[in-house]
Amino acid sequence: MDSLTQRFQQANPAVLWLLSGIVFILAPHVYYQSHLLVLFIGCLLFWRLGVELQYIRQPPAWFATLLAISTFIGITYGYQTVFGRDAGVALLITMLCLKLMEMGAPRDFLVAVFLGYFVVITGFLFSQSVIIGLLMTTAVFLLTTSLVSYHRSERKLNSQYKSARLGINLLFQAIPLAILLFFLFPRVPGPLWGLPEQGSSASTGLSSSMAPGQITELAFDNSVAFRVEFENKIPEASQLYWRGPVFTYYDGFMWQELASNSRKFFGSEWVTELPPVPQVKMSEGIKYSVMLEPHNANWLLALDLPTLYPATGYLTQNYELLSDEPVKKLTRYEVTSHLNYKLSPEAPPANRVYRQIPQFVGPKARQLVLELQTKIQADQPYDRQIVDLILNHFRTEPFFYTRTPPAMLDNPIDQFLFEERRGFCEHYASAFVVLMRAAGLPARIVTGYLGGELNTIGNYFIVRQSDAHAWAEVWLENQGWIRVDPTAVIPPGRIEQAQFRDRFRRSAGEGVGSQLWFADSIKRLKFIWDNVNHSWNDWIVGYNPTKQQSFLDALGIKDFSWSSLIFILFGGLALLVLVIAWHLSGHTIRKPNQAHVIFRRFCRKLARKGFRYSPSETAHNFAQRVAEKRSDIAKQVEEIAELYNQVRYARAPAQQSLRVLEQRVRQFRP
Amino acid sequence: MLSKLTFPLEQLNLDRFFTGEGPFDSPLILARRRIFILPTRQGVLFAIVLGIMLIGSINYNNSLGYLLTFLLASVAVVSILHTYRNLLSLKISVGNIQPVFCGEKIKIPVVIDNSGLSERFAIQAELSGEQIRSCDVAQDGWASISLSYKTRTRGMHRIPRITISSVFPLGLFRAWSHVRLNNTYLVYPEPAGKTRLPFQWNEEQQQLRGYHKGTDDFAGLNTYIPGDPLGHIHWKAYAREQGLFTKKFGGNNEQELWLDWRVLDGLSTEQKLGQLAKWVLEADKTEMNYGLWLPGNRIAPSLGPMHKLKCLKALALFREAM
């Protein structure tokens, strides 16, 4: 029985390269595809390896066909379709692995490699992260090396480093060309045809409804929601309220958005209005760009209050910035916000939904409002006083902030305000808005994100799902809609989880002060890694027609036409190809053979003594001719001729003999 | 201005593309203008795959898809340079070709010499339409590929066109160069015919007898001269390490054999030559001195490998007078 090493040496190295490449191609699909399929494919790969190492025989053709048909049926049954992303990719992957089973003809191998290249691209339909990018680059390297290895006549395992070296060379020489094509190839906006519906992966963070009493544990999701780069100055942390969905309608248990199409449910009273034009105190607008991770809903996050926003978005009457299409992939947009603003201060909003509370909700809460109203002083504005009184109630009474509140299912508002008094931002915002409405003030709930972490390496903000927040907006006379954050009044001592104690107070960027050098280094590394991701998203994943336009503008190519762009593109490509060609052809220049140079030196020495070397002679003939006349140097001459023949006609360079030859010729004195 | 820019049509030599220039004296260096390159069938398939990938990337507006497509396209472009470079500056020559009988396969040793700094991989050589062989050539080294080719007619022929090609490294493009060299090879007539060796001599042959020593009676030893028949070497003396001697024969019963064109009446020229070639081979085995008579060419009787080759060459090159 052969040892494993021997079996590897007898295997076709090109197939081994291909198999390792396929492992890398399939790595991300292990995460996205069903486990049954992954198991099946793993078995196929091991089987193929077994065949290559001659443990098992290649299966007969009918068996491979049978396997192909049964997997096709299996996938169709399992996914209920053969169209769509998941089923299509599953089909492609199994086709690739089954192709490996019937690799007899040269064509089969090449088809398998090309199919492999094609499957690489399907991985990007699931994720375009840096990690996937690295995995797929490795896969491309391995597949290219397998092609190189396949076309060599040498099949020995220990000479495969040459194939790998050439694979690397090909890839590195191709990278400048690929970068040029990537940035200058004219980008076409929009899909060419309708995209198939993708499976809705549940998004975390914000949602389109809110039921505070029903949640007993807030999951801590540290994934990135979006990243923000401010153009000039960074606003203060206390102003970083990122506005998301706004809830206006409360059914007693759940807050909901009042979308324009919900008119029929609530009658014509709650008509949709156009957003009122805000009065902006003419402070400078803050310009920033947001790189939003996909969340499958329509809202685009923006600082209060967005005044300039992309054409693909629009403002609702509640100042939610919505996009026309659900955000299904990484989206980049630029917004200008004014942090000092006044919203319709002249007249209270006509829409009755801002004052609506179901009759059964919060009898005790209404009682509380009545009690507080007795403390109102007549000479001060009523609405301002009632807001302060209620906030003061939260501050002085024993209210606690916790991420694991008890369930409050019967009458959430009263249970929270008078029994449990423990909750997170949604509880506070919800209770506050109900109290406001009970006091007769128009109020609504705003959800979104608060703050963010300044990445000091890349100088941008990272906002995470764990930064999700809910606050309230109240309409006050002469002031319009103002923001009130009832959670922020809870003193630090009453925040239960220590890690959130400083959440509402820390100024962004300072972060949690840590004494430990170790923790600082970890944080720095995290910032660097996030910065890599951000640049990747900004320049690679988020590179779209808009970004290309601004990139070309920055390069000074203003008002470019397609023809000039193509001209620049091909000019650049031709230049790069010339540089590579020049580099490569340098290695083919014919150098004079060194042995020959040395031998000519030897001939010149003899020519001085009257022995002329004729080109038709062999070195041996010449040496014999000399030796017949000069027996004193016969030995040396014959040795030199022998050495010359050895070196000159060796299949591989014979450096050792060359040195000896040079030495003998140098010492030769005829 | 435009007239200067028009392509000089007379310089466009399509023969250079299809059949190659030449013939040239060996060795021939594969210079830039001698090498052509075009995509292979696999290359076209690869281009189609890339096209599908590009359309997919545009449709899904998938940036990494774009990047991958462009990377693979660039790898293909760079591989053009590598394939071309794989042939560039190789020195092609043809070694010594052993003559064969017509109908046998001739072996043409193609020597590929690489004095560049980089190794060349999987260089293929083929004779027009016949089998392909491939080899690697080390940097500053050489390799030889033996191509065989079935001969069809006797005579001295120029070697057929050799095509040096390579699809290395990716198989997407094939670079090739048609090499036409001046080297020649000799094909003897195919030994054929049923007529027995002509031991009966006619009058003229009788007259020719007499001056030549035969092979019957031992008449002493001579020092070996290259070309003496191997059968006449005194091997026993050689075994005793006394040196290499050739036995000398002579005497009254010496026999001479004349392989005469004229006795083969009623046969066509090629049939006669085939019969004569067969006789030469048979006579060589009998260790008899034999001579060859052809119209316009007479080779005096002798023996030994050199003599045999001389006779066969005369048969190969025979041309009937008009």
Q: For residue range A171-224, list pLDDT tens digits in order.
A: 999 999 999 999 988 887 766 665 554 444 444 567 778 887 776 666 667 778
> 3-state SS string over A18-59?
HHHHHHHHHHHHHHHCCHHHHHHHHHHHHHHHHHHCCCCCCC
Q: Which of A136, A177, A189 sits opposite B74 (nearest CB)?
A: A177
What CATH number is attached to the domain comprising B140?
2.60.40.10
> What strand order describes the sheet that includes B91-94?
B28-29, B91-94, B105-114, B141-150
Tell me, yes or no, if A590 comes closer than 8 A to chain B by beta carbon: yes
Query: Which of A423-432, A446-455, B209-218 comes out lowest in average pLDDT?
Result: B209-218
Residue B139 belongs to some domain of the structure: yes
For A125, the closest of B60, B79, B171 (CB atoms) is: B60
Q: How close A309 comes to chain B (CA, Å)?
A: 22
Q: Are residues B167 and B219 in the same domain?
A: no
Backbone angles phi, psi at A74, to 5 degrees: -60, -45
Question: Which pLDDT belongs to residue B249?
Answer: 61
Residue of B nearest to A652 (CA): B141
Residue B161, domain member (yes or no): yes
B61 with A329: Cβ contact below 8 A: yes
Q: What is the pLDDT of residue A18?
A: 93
Chain B residues lying within 8 Å of A653, measured CB to CB: 138-141
What pLDDT digit, counting tens, does each position of A21-54 carry? 999 999 988 888 888 888 988 998 998 898 888 8
pLDDT at A509: 40
Residue A652 exposed, middle or buried by CB count within 10 Å (0-12, 13-18, 19+): exposed
Is residue B194 in some structural domain? no
Q: Name the domain boundary from B130, B161, B188.
A: B188
Q: Let me know whether B212 and B265 are in one domain.
A: yes
Q: Is the dihedral of CA A591, A593, A596, A598 positive or negative?
A: positive
Which of A588, A594, A597 has the most B C-beta neighbours within 10 Å, making it the best mutation to test the interface with B? A588
The answer for B103, left when phi > 0, alpha when psi is -120 to 50, beta otherwise, is left
Within 8 A of B167 by CB-CB distance, chain A residues are: 151
Q: Compare CB distances from A653 to B79, B141, B143 and report the shortest one's residue.
A: B141
pLDDT of residue B52: 93
The nearest CA of chain B is from the CA of A14 a distance in Å of 12
Residues B165 and B133 in one domain: yes
Start-to-end CA span in chain B (Å): 60
Rounded mean pLDDT, A77-105: 81
Q: Rounded CA gap, A212 and A205, in Å?
A: 14
Residues of chain A with pLDDT > 90, as a percent, come to 13
Residue B273 within a domain: yes
Residue A119: what pLDDT?
A: 92
Looking at beta carbons, which residues of chain A come within 8 Å of B171?
Answer: 110, 147, 150-151
Confidence band (pLDDT; 50, 70, 90) for A279? low
**A144 vs B contacts (CB less than 8 Å):** 75, 170
pLDDT at position B67, please?
94
H or E element: which one contains A280? strand A279-280
Q: Supply the pLDDT for residue A653.
A: 65
Which A-chain residues 98-117 have CB contacts (< 8 A) with chain B? 107, 110-111, 114, 117
In a domain, B212, yes or no: yes
More confident call, A262 vs A517: A517
pLDDT reading at A262 higher than 60: no
Mean pLDDT in residue range A389-397:
88
3-state secondary structure of B37: strand
Query: How many residues in total does chain B contain?
Result: 322
Contacts of B49 in chain A (CB under 8 A): 114, 117-118
- Please report which confidence band the pLDDT of residue A267 belongs to, taking 50, 70 and 90 as the band edges: very low
CA–CA min distance A20, chain B (Å): 18
Domain boundary pick from B143, B160, B188: B188
**Is the model more confident about A426 or about B46?**
B46
- When pLDDT is cut at 50, 70 and 90, the band that residue A259 belongs to is low
**Domain range for B44:** 13-188
A377 has pLDDT over 50: yes
Residues 6+ apart with CB under 8 A from B166: B83, B86, B87, B120, B121, B122, B123, B124, B174, B175, B176
Identify all chain B residues contacting A154, using CB atoms and an 8 Å cutoff.
121, 136
A166 to chain B, any CB pair closer than 8 A? The answer is yes
**In a shared domain, residues B76 and B20:** yes
**Chain B residue closest in CA terms to A655:** B140
Interface contact A178-B115, CB threshold 8 A: no
Question: Which of A92, A95, A124 to probe by mutation at the B interface, max B CB count within 10 Å?
Answer: A124
- Amino acid A514: pLDDT: 46
Residue A498 pLDDT level (bands cut at 50, 70, 90): low
Q: Which of B70, B75, B171 comes nearest A170 by C-beta?
A: B75
The pLDDT of residue A264: 40
| B212 and B147 within one domain | no
Q: Is residue B172 domain-shared with residue B23, that is, in the same domain?
A: yes
B-chain CB neighbours of A171 within 8 Å are 71, 75
Which of B58, B168, B170 is the closest to A192 by Cβ?
B58
Q: Which residue has the higher pLDDT, B61 or A274?
A: B61
Structural domain count of chain B: 2
Distance from CA of B166 to the nearest CA of A (A): 9
The pLDDT score that the predictor gives to residue A282 is: 55
Residue B216 is assigned to a structural domain of this protein: yes
Beta-carbon separation of B61 and A185 below 8 A: no
pLDDT in tens, chain B (322 residues): 344 445 555 556 666 677 777 777 778 888 888 899 999 999 999 999 999 999 989 888 888 999 999 999 999 999 999 999 999 889 898 888 899 999 888 888 999 988 777 888 999 998 876 677 888 888 778 888 888 888 888 889 888 888 999 998 899 999 999 888 888 899 999 988 887 777 655 445 455 544 444 445 566 677 777 767 677 777 777 787 777 777 766 544 456 788 888 888 878 888 888 888 888 888 888 777 888 888 888 888 888 888 889 999 998 888 876 4
pLDDT in tens, A632-662: 888 888 888 888 888 877 766 677 888 888 8
What pLDDT score was predicted for residue A201?
42
CA atoms within 13 A on the CB side of A519: 6
- Cα distances (Å, whole numbers) of residue A348 to A64, A251, A434, A476, A492: 74, 23, 18, 8, 35
Ordered by start, the domain boundaries in chain A are: 4-184, 209-500, 594-667
Q: What is the pLDDT of residue B262?
A: 82
Confidence of residue A512 (pLDDT cuts 50, 70, 90): very low
B45–A540 C-beta distance less than 8 A: no
Among residues B188, B220, B252, the one where a domain terminates is B188
Q: Are residues B33 and B152 in the same domain?
A: yes
Which pLDDT value is given to residue B172?
94
Per DSSP, B19 falls in state T
Query: Is residue A643 packed enough to be buried (19+ CB in 10 Å), middle (13-18) or exposed (0-12)?
Result: buried
